[in-house]
Structure 1
Amino acid sequence: MEIQNLTQRLTERKINPTAMRILVLDQLLHSDVAMSLMDLEIVLDSADRVTIYRTLKKFEEKNLVHTIEDGTGSIKYAICESNCQCTTDFTHAHFHCTTCEQTFCLRNIHLPEIKLPKNFQAEQSSFILKGTCDHCSVK
């Protein structure tokens, strides 16, 4: 994606488009899987871990990414859809491949609305399917 488009995507979410933020956004947009902080550190090998972490937290705060806790002990990050309100909408499922350890957003599997009992407030939701992805199952 062009730098101009990346910059525009950041400014639409009221995020100052620094060089690191543009690099992280570009990596997340070009990834078919959710990425952990460690994954991004490997790809952006000259980048500072703390700066990448702060970038991800800013992206999460501005609903540009959502987090996925897939049971591996490492939080994964994936780009939100343009109309996403991740703090209030728990809209799709995720799939964790137990062979390659990759986690995928299943945007076509929408989660039903869950009616909570009176005075209950959900702060986080997770629906993780585990098994073998299409790439690993054909090996």
Structure 2
Amino acid sequence: MRKVKISERLLEKKRVKPTPTRILVAEELLKNNEAKSLQDMEEALPNADKVTIYRTIKTFLDNHIIHSVLLPDGQTKYALCEHAEHQHHVHPHFTCQKCGETHCLPETNIPLQDFPKNYKVSDVLLTLSGVCPKCSS
């Protein structure tokens, strides 16, 4: 019996066909639970077609397998996250100033309250920066 990879189970759970490139992209995003840019993905998967990687990212976004992380410098990274199924997930992201890695912090509570009357919040972008545990030791 063939052993099914975590990445395949993740895709099958979302009813996304586990093609070889999709499995590679999911596995890359599962490494270190770190958000990665499109360029990061292309560099990590040099034998994969760039257009196919881009289409895979789009498919993952459309099927709520990943979510995008907009950084203050305008760069977009993508992360697998336990909350990716929620279109309006509310958790901060942390970018290390030393190594440049970006991580989701879903356990961090962000209270959304006391907004002025008639303001309806549909999404929250919060990126924290500093030094990650790996770089501070």
TM-score interval, normalised by the smaller of the two chains: 0.7 to 0.9
Work out whether residues 33 and 102 of structure 1, in 8 Å CA contact, stay in contact via their aligned partners in 2.
Answer: yes
Q: Tell me the TM-score normalized by structure 1.
A: 0.82
Please tell me whether the aligned partners of residues 68 and 77 of structure 2 are also in contact (alpha carbons under 8 angstroms).
yes
Alignment correspondent of 1:133 = 132
Specify every segment of 5 or more residues in structure 1 that has no aligned partner in the other structure, as ranges: none
Q: What is the percent sequence identity of the aligned residues?
A: 34
1:75 paired with 2:76, answer yes
Q: Which residue of 2 aligns with 1:55?
A: 56
Give the structure 2 partner of residue 42 of structure 1. Answer: 43
TM-score, length basis structure 2: 0.83
Residues 95-128 of structure 1 deviation map (CA, whole Å, 9 limit, x = unaligned): 1112221111112212224476447351x32111
Runs of 4+ in 1 over 6 A off after TM superposition: none
Whether the 8 Å contact between 2:29 and 2:79 is mirrored in structure 1 is: yes
- 2:27 corresponds in structure 1 to 26
RMSD: 2.1
Unaligned 5+ segments in structure 2 are none
Instruction: Look up the equivalent residue of 1:64 and give its one-letter code.
Output: I
- 5 Å-filtered alignment, 1:69-108, equals 69-81=70-82, 84-90=84-90, 92-108=91-107
2:35·2:102 contact (CA, 8 Å) conserved in 1? yes
Specify whether residues 97 and 6 from structure 1 end up closer, same or farther in structure 2 by C-alpha distance, changes over 3 A only. Answer: closer
* Secondary structure at 1:95 match in 2: strand
How far apart are the structure 1 equivalents of 2:19 and 2:136? 40
Instruction: Encode CA deviations 1:13-70: one digit per residue, 9 max, x unaligned.
Output: 1212111101111111123321111111111011111211111111111111111112
Residue 84 to residue 43, structure 1, CA distance change in 2 (3 Å): closer
